[in-house]
Amino acid sequence: MQTLYYFMERKEWTNQEILDIYQQPLMDLLYQAASVHRANHDPNKVQVSSLISIKTGGCSEDCGYCPQAARYHTDIEGNDLMSVRQVKAQALRAKASGSSRVCLGAAWRNVKDGKDFDEVIEMVREITQLEMEVCCTLGMLTENQAKRLEEAGLYAYNHNIDSSEEYYKEVISTRAFEDRLETIGNVRKTSITLCSGGIIGMGESVEDRAGMLKILANMYPQPESVPINALVPVEGTPLEEQGPVSIFEMVRMVATTRIVLPQTQVRLSAGRTQMSEEGQALCFFAGANSIFAGDKLLTTPNPDIKQDMKLFNELSIKTQAPFEKHAKREPKEPVTPPLGENPKWTRPKHKIERNEQARIKAKNLSK
């Protein structure tokens, strides 16, 4: 009965309602989430998406979790933008090993009109022709840039809100939460589907987790996919010493996401290397129906895809075909010209002590 309700009217969620769901006895939470999941999805089907880091490292931002921020001293190997040929070859390999979707990630604050963006548009066109869903995560985006990606056939845009609005300020000072929402709004002016989620394990409270889900659940329409990442603490970043996220916190987060966003694809994202197979199976039961596959996320390790496929086989899980949830978006003739925009995205620049310390440590190390 409860599930029917979701189809019938739009619900405005409060923090307290989401918190009550998150904090109920685990067995009740699992039962409720699995019921919502079964009413809205095939519980034995999971989408497999592969990440390709098309431009790695050297990013101007100070996101406290991110190994790609230039200001921190991490061990990652940076790269300029990959060529269309290289990205296409990697997408074909991902397809051959069972992925129906690729997500192209760039360590950019925002998209800038010019040669690099033109290349990304070409990547989207080419990979869409391979009958794969293409997602991009390129940072902040204007409406005109979103339109150009739409014309290229882009299926999804990933732009995470990452945490509650309050906790976001404790993690990032070089860009503002409202700019994230504005980019999401620009994506929503097109027919590109929206992928937006966040990270748990950054030191946030359960209220912050509920706060993040409230924003996502109250979007109308709700995001078509929601990645739930467990922080991968990387040496050199301000969050390097954060303790691991327990499997039961992850299960609670996945289950709560499933209940408040019944139709979305809930993606078990970063952090799977820390999870047992039994833990992942519990997440699938609780409503996760998508994973990031491939031995690397963007810069950090991820389980081997053969191991993932073995697990799927043991659980009798089938993989989701491309365009199964939403129709393919055929590339169109490009008619929207670049505007050469240089939008003034916000830079709050408040002081975050641990980010400051990590920056100073990195400076001293490079002397």
Q: Which residues are catalytic?
A: 59, 63, 66, 103, 135, 195, 267
- Tell me how far, at minimum, the Cβ of 166 lies from ligand DTB, in Å: 20
Considering beta carbons, is residue 201 or 322 the nearer one to ligand DTB?
A: 201
- Tell me how far, at minimum, the Cβ of 66 lies from ligand SF4, in Å: 3
Dist CA 286 CA 29 (whole Å): 8
- C-alpha R_g of the chain: 19
- Tell me how far, at minimum, the Cβ of 22 lies from ligand SF4, in Å: 25
| The one among 81, 199, 260, 317 contacting ligand SAM by CB under 6 A | 199
Q: Which range binds ligand SAM by CB under 6 A, 127-135, 155-163, 310-318, 345-353?
A: 155-163
Residue 90, C-beta contacts closer than 8 angstroms, at least 6 positions apart? 50, 52, 82, 102
Single-letter code of the amino acid located at 192: I
Per the structure block, which two tokens stand in for 240?
Answer: 């390097």
26-40 helix and 277-285 helix, angle to the nearest 10 degrees:
60
Q: Per DSSP, what are the bridge partners of residue 140?
A: 110
Dist CA 354 CA 171 (whole Å): 9
Q: Sign of dihedral through CA atoms 27, 33, 36, 40?
A: negative
Count of residues touching ligand SAM (by CB under 6 A): 18
Cβ atoms of 258 and 35 closer than 8 Å: no
Q: Which range binds ligand SF4 by CB under 6 A, 39-47, 62-70, 200-208, 235-243?
A: 62-70
Residues 182-221, interacting with ligand DTB (CB under 6 A): 197
Per partner kind, with CB cut-offs from 5 to 8 A, the member of ligand SAM, ligand DTB, ligand SF4, none near residue 143 is none
- Tell me how far, at minimum, the Cβ of 237 lies from ligand SAM, in Å: 7
Residue 160 interacts with ligand DTB (CB under 6 A): yes or no? yes
Dist CA 268 CA 283 (whole Å): 8
Residue 68 interacts with ligand SF4 (CB under 6 A): yes or no? yes
| The one among 66, 82, 91, 171 contacting ligand SF4 by CB under 6 A | 66
What's the DSSP call for residue 366? T
Considering beta carbons, is residue 174 or 299 the nearer one to ligand DTB?
A: 299
Residue 139 interacts with ligand SF4 (CB under 6 A): yes or no? yes
| The one among 137, 256, 257, 265 contacting ligand SAM by CB under 6 A | 137
Residue 103 interacts with ligand DTB (CB under 6 A): yes or no? yes
Environment class of 354 (CB within 10 Å of its CB; exposed 0-12, middle 13-18, buried 19+): middle
Cβ atoms of 178 and 311 closer than 8 Å: no
* Angle formed at CA 75 by CA 74 and CA 78, multiple of 5 degrees: 95
Nearest to 47 by CA among 95, 101, 103, 90: 101
Estimate to the nearest angstrom the gap between the alpha carbon of 142 and the chain centroid. 19
Per partner kind, with CB cut-offs from 5 to 8 A, the member of ligand DTB, ligand SAM, ligand SF4, none near residue 299 is ligand DTB
Residue 270 interacts with ligand SAM (CB under 6 A): yes or no? yes
Residues 227-246, interacting with ligand DTB (CB under 6 A): 227, 229, 232
Per partner kind, with CB cut-offs from 5 to 8 A, the member of ligand SAM, ligand SF4, ligand DTB, none near residue 69 is ligand SF4
Kindly provide the b/e burial profile for residues 95-108, where b requires at least 16 CB atoms within 10 angstroms of the residue's own CB: bebebbbbbbbbbb
Residue 238 interacts with ligand SAM (CB under 6 A): yes or no? no
Dist CA 325 CA 303 (whole Å): 25
Q: Which range binds ligand SF4 by CB under 6 A, 60-68, 185-193, 252-260, 284-292?
A: 60-68
| The one among 32, 137, 163, 193 contacting ligand DTB by CB under 6 A | 137
Alpha-helical runs (H) found in the chain:
2-8, 15-23, 26-40, 84-96, 115-128, 143-151, 165-168, 177-188, 206-217, 247-260, 277-285, 305-315, 353-365
Per partner kind, with CB cut-offs from 5 to 8 A, the member of ligand SAM, ligand DTB, ligand SF4, none near residue 102 is none
Give me the residues that bind ligand DTB (CB under 6 A), please: 51, 67, 103, 105, 137, 158, 160, 197, 227, 229, 232, 269-270, 297-300
Give me the residues that bind ligand SAM (CB under 6 A), please: 65-66, 68, 105, 107-108, 137, 139, 159-160, 162, 199, 229, 231-232, 234, 270, 298
